[in-house]
């Protein structure tokens, strides 16, 4: 399975956009990019996933580079409640695939 | 709030006790998962059930025994645990286990302390 590299931690001012990078340079053509977050004392929360195209939902946008070797999760207007650990995960398409978590990025949103 | 419900939220048990963790979902999902998360570490996969059959056991010690009585329920039976088994146990479900495009939805976990 492809591995991901994320910064250990990031800070963001409340109300500003939070841009969380992820490097997945060994990703293959049949692997999705997933993003989850985990707020303290809660279970991981699904945010978004994509294959090749950029994706947007009510929580965030996912920008995947054309060569698919990196991606950025964008939270357009960060709030204090967005403080969490954010996990970027590469997940194969085929049957029997697993969701394997890496270390993630601690995002601290500050007022 | 999540659509995957785990009970109890907290559990303290001795090393000689037998206890069970329960997980329930009513989203019609056919794949269910157990993860274990130690403090300040990412979740680690333990078991996967697909259509009520065990599909993956990540070499978990036999003192952890999973059970899937039906498509909505998942149990984790615990027996003769060690203090190092203290962790947050997370349950998740997904539409199926066949496609990578099916997101997992997690419960908020059971925090287990083994004394």
Q: Are A48 and A35 in contact (CB under 8 A)?
A: yes
For testing contact with chain B, the best of A43, A47, A97, A101 (most B CBs within 10 A) = A43
Chain B (47-106) residues lying within 8 Å, Cβ to Cβ, of chain A = 48, 55-56, 90, 92, 97-101, 103-106
What does the pLDDT look like over B47-97, one tens digit per residue? 999 999 999 999 999 999 999 999 999 999 999 999 999 999 999 999 988
Residues of A in contact with B104 (CB under 8 A): 44, 46, 99
Residues of A in contact with B43 (CB under 8 A): 44, 101
Whole-angstrom distance, CA of residue A61 vs CA of residue A33: 12
What does the pLDDT look like over A67-90, one tens digit per residue? 999 999 999 999 999 999 999 999
What does the pLDDT look like over B2-25, one tens digit per residue? 699 999 999 999 999 999 999 999
What does the pLDDT look like over A18-34, one tens digit per residue? 999 999 999 999 899 99
């Amino acid at each position: 399975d492809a591995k991901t590299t994320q910064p250990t931690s990031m800070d963001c001012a409340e109300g500003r956009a939070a841009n969380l990078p992820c490097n997945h340079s060994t990703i293959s053509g049949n692997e999705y990019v997933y993003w989850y977050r985990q707020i303290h004392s809660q279970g991981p929360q699904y945010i978004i996933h994509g294959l090749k195209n950029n994706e947007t939902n009510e929580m965030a946008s996912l920008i995947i580079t054309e060569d698919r070797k990196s991606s950025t999760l964008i939270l357009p207007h960060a709030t204090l409640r967005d403080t969490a650990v954010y996990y970027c995960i590469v997940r194969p398409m085929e049957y029997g695939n697993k969701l394997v978590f890496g270390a993630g990025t601690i995002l601290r949103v500050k007022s | 709030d999540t659509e995957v419900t785990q009970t109890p939220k907290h559990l303290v048990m001795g090393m000689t006790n037998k206890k069970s963790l329960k997980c329930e979902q009513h989203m019609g999902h056919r794949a269910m998962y157990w993860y274990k998360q130690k403090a300040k570490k990412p979740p680690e996969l333990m078991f996967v059930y697909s259509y009520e059959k065990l599909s993956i056991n990540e070499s978990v010690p036999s003192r952890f025994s999973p059970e899937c009585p039906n498509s909505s329920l998942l149990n984790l039976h615990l027996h003769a645990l060690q203090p190092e088994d203290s962790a947050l146990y997370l349950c998740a479900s997904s539409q199926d286990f066949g496609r990578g495009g099916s997101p997992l939805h997690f419960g908020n976990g059971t925090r287990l302390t083994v004394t």
